[in-house]
Structure 1
Amino acid sequence: MSVEPTVLVIGGGATGTGIARDLALRDVDVMLVERGGLGSGTTGRSHGLLHSGARYADSDAQGASDCLAESQTLRGIAGECIRETGGLFVRLDSDDPEYFDAKRRACEKIGIQTDRLDGDTARERIPGLADSVAEAFRVPDGVIFPSRLVAANAADAAAHGGTICPQTPVAEIDVGAGGVETVHLGGAAEKSVTPDCVINAAGAWAGEIAGMAGVTVGMAPSRGVMVSLEYDRLDPVLNRCREPSDGDILVPHNGAVVAGTTSVPVSTPDDYETAEWEVEQTIEECAAMVPAVAEATERRRWWGVRPLYAPDETGTDRRGISRGFTVLDHGEDGVSNFYSVVGGKLTTYRKMAAVTSDRVCEYLGVDEPCTTGEKQLRGADDPERLDAFVDRYGGPNPTDTDVHGTSD
Structure 2
Amino acid sequence: MQTTVLVIGGGATGVGVARDLALRGVEVTLVDRGALAAGTTGRSHGVLHSGARYAEADPSDAAACLAENRVLREVAPACLDETGGYFLQLAGDDPDYFERKRAACADLGMSVETLSGAELRERVPEATPAVERALAVPDAVVSPSRLVVANAAAASEAGATIHTHAPVEGIRVADGAVTGVDVGGTLDATIRADAVVNATGPWAGRCAALAGVSVPMRPTRGVMVGVENPGVDAVLNRCRPPADGDIVVPRGDEAVLGTTSVAVDDPDDFERSEAEVARTVAECAAMCPAVDRPVRRTYWGVRPLYAPDEDGRDGRAISRGFALLDHAAEDAAGFLTIVGGKLTTYRKMAEATADRVCDRLGVSAACRTADRPLPGADDPAELDALCAAFGVDAPADGRGADA
Question: What's the TM-score once normalised by structure 2's chain length?
Answer: 0.97
2:255 counterpart residue number: 257
Check if 1:43 corresponds to 2:41: yes
Tell me the CA shift for residue 178 of structure 1. 3.5
CA distance in 2, matches of 1:359, 1:127: 49
CA shift digits 1:16-40 (9 cap, x unpaired): 0000000010110000001010000
Q: Which amino acid in structure 2 is aligned with residue 326 of structure 1?
A: A
**1:116 is matched with which residue: 114, 117, 138?**
114
Tell me the CA shift for residue 311 of structure 1. 2.4
2:325 counterpart residue number: 328
1:309 counterpart residue number: 306
Of 388-397 and 270-279, more deviation after overlay is shown by 388-397
2:68 counterpart residue number: 70
Tell me the CA shift for residue 386 of structure 1. 0.6
Structure 2 contact 128–289 (Cα < 8 Å) conserved: yes
2:167 counterpart residue number: 169
Q: Which residues in structure 2 correspond to 1:349-388 (within 5 Å)? A: 349-388=346-385
Check if 1:133 corresponds to 2:131: yes
- Equivalenced residues, count: 400
CA distance in 2, matches of 1:319, 1:32: 33
CA shift digits 1:148-196 (9 cap, x unpaired): 1001100110011100111110011111113111210011101111101
CA shift digits 1:291-319 (9 cap, x unpaired): 01112x32210110000112275679442
1:406 counterpart residue number: none
Q: Which amino acid in structure 2 is aligned with residue 172 of structure 1?
A: G
Tell me the CA shift for residue 390 of structure 1. 1.0
2:292 counterpart residue number: 294
Q: Secondary structure at the match of 2:145?
A: helix
Structure 2 contact 260–280 (Cα < 8 Å) conserved: yes
Q: Decide whether aligned partners of structure 1 residues 249 and 312 sit closer, same or farther in structure 2, where only a CA change above 3 A counts.
A: closer
Q: Which residues in structure 2 correspond to 1:7-46 (within 5 Å)? A: 7-46=5-44
1:392 counterpart residue number: 389
CA distance in 1, matches of 2:110, 2:220: 28
Structure 2 contact 34–167 (Cα < 8 Å) conserved: yes
Structure 2 contact 38–392 (Cα < 8 Å) conserved: no
Tell me the CA shift for residue 232 of structure 1. 4.4
Q: Which amino acid in structure 1 is aligned with residue 202 of structure 2?
A: A
CA shift digits 1:223-271 (9 cap, x unpaired): 0000111114111100000111100000110111110000000012111
Q: Decide whether aligned partners of structure 1 residues 199 and 247 sit closer, same or farther in structure 2, where only a CA change above 3 A counts.
A: same
Q: Secondary structure at the match of 1:6?
A: strand
**1:270 is matched with which residue: 268, 276, 292?**
268
2:83 counterpart residue number: 85
Structure 1 contact 104–114 (Cα < 8 Å) conserved: yes
Q: Secondary structure at the match of 1:195?
A: strand
Q: Which amino acid in structure 2 is aligned with residue 121 of structure 1?
A: E
CA shift digits 1:375-402 (9 cap, x unpaired): 1001221112111111122235100127
Structure 2 residues not aligned, in runs of 5+: none
Q: Decide whether aligned partners of structure 1 residues 233 and 312 sit closer, same or farther in structure 2, where only a CA change above 3 A counts.
A: closer
Q: Secondary structure at the match of 2:193?
A: coil
CA distance in 2, matches of 1:131, 1:402: 35
Question: What's the TM-score once normalised by structure 1's chain length?
Answer: 0.96
CA distance in 2, matches of 1:68, 1:48: 15
Q: Which amino acid in structure 2 is aligned with residue 65 of structure 1?
A: A
Q: Secondary structure at the match of 1:135?
A: strand
CA distance in 1, matches of 2:14, 2:261: 24
Structure 1 contact 265–318 (Cα < 8 Å) conserved: no
2:278 counterpart residue number: 280
CA distance in 1, matches of 2:41, 2:362: 31
**1:142 is matched with which residue: 118, 126, 140?**
140
Q: Which amino acid in structure 2 is aligned with residue 235 of structure 1?
A: D
Tell me the CA shift for residue 278 of structure 1. 0.6
CA distance in 1, matches of 2:275, 2:173: 44
Structure 2 contact 126–230 (Cα < 8 Å) conserved: no
Q: Percent identity?
A: 55
Structure 1 residues not aligned, in runs of 5+: 404-408
Q: Which amino acid in structure 2 is aligned with residue 388 of structure 1?
A: A
CA shift digits 1:6-57 (9 cap, x unpaired): 0000000000000000001011000000101000000000000000000000
Tell me the CA shift for residue 79 of structure 1. 2.0
Tell me the CA shift for residue 277 of structure 1. 0.7
Q: Decide whether aligned partners of structure 1 residues 114 and 313 sit closer, same or farther in structure 2, where only a CA change above 3 A counts.
A: closer
